């Protein structure tokens, strides 16, 4: 369990450091810093909602949902076992780190700092009435956690049950 707490601490720290670095260097710039033109850019964005602007400005609702999510992830964290259930353990740790990373921003700033932008997604997002997609490392942790948890739930856990071990 100590290993899980250590990873959460490191991931949240990295997320917060990159957000405040982006705030320091990118806030006030009226242009994107293009790393891979048309694919990946850096640009400061204050997100007062959830992913894709859902619940924009509804900080109380977002904090309640965050607390509920942290309670659920905390309960699942009790079953973390990096020796026998690596994928499950990393998914839960990443769920917690991503949720905490964005919760810290909401609690301290009233918004989440986003700074990574993917302009190549515009052709998909514009017809859906989503103009831009910005995210941060906490969001990336949450996305990876969903994929890992899905793999665990639908592939690895049934395989463990079939074999009859926790391997």
Q: 43-90, pLDDT tens digit by residue?
A: 999 999 887 667 888 889 999 999 999 999 999 999 999 999 999 999
The continuous run of DSSP H or E covering 115 comes out as strand 112-117
Residue 31 carries which DSSP code? S
**Catalytic pick among 81, 105, 139, 166:** 139
In this predicted structure, what is the pLDDT of residue 128?
Answer: 76
Domain regions of the chain by residue span? 2-161
Give, in degrees to the nearest 5, the angle at Cα 116 between 115 and 119.
125
114 catalytic per annotation: yes
Q: Give residue 157's Cα distance to chain centre.
A: 24
Whether this model's pTM surpasses 0.85: yes
Q: Is 155 exposed, middle or buried (0-12, 13-18, 19+ CB in 10 A)?
A: exposed
79 catalytic per annotation: no
Provide the pLDDT confidence category of residue 167 given band limits of 50, 70 and 90: very low
The CA distance from 11 to 78, in Å, is 19
């Amino acid at each position: 369990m100590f290993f899980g707490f250590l990873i959460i601490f490191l991931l949240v720290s990295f997320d917060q450091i990159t957000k405040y670095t982006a705030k320091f260097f990118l806030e006030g710039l009226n242009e994107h810093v293009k790393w891979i033109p048309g694919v990946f850019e850096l640009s400061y964005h204050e997100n007062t909602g959830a992913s894709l602007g859902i619940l924009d400005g509804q900080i109380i609702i977002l904090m309640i949902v965050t607390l509920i999510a942290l309670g659920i992830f905390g309960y699942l964290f009790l079953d973390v076992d990096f020796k026998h259930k690596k994928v499950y353990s990393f998914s839960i740790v990443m769920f917690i780190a991503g949720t905490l990373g964005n919760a810290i921003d909401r609690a301290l700033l009233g918004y989440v700092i986003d700074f990574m932008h993917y302009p190549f997604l515009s052709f998909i997002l514009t017809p859906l009435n989503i103009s831009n997609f910005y995210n941060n490392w906490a969001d990336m942790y949450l996305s990876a956690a969903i994929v890992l948890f899905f793999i665990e739930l639908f592939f690895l856990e049934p395989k463990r049950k079939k074999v009859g071990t926790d391997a």
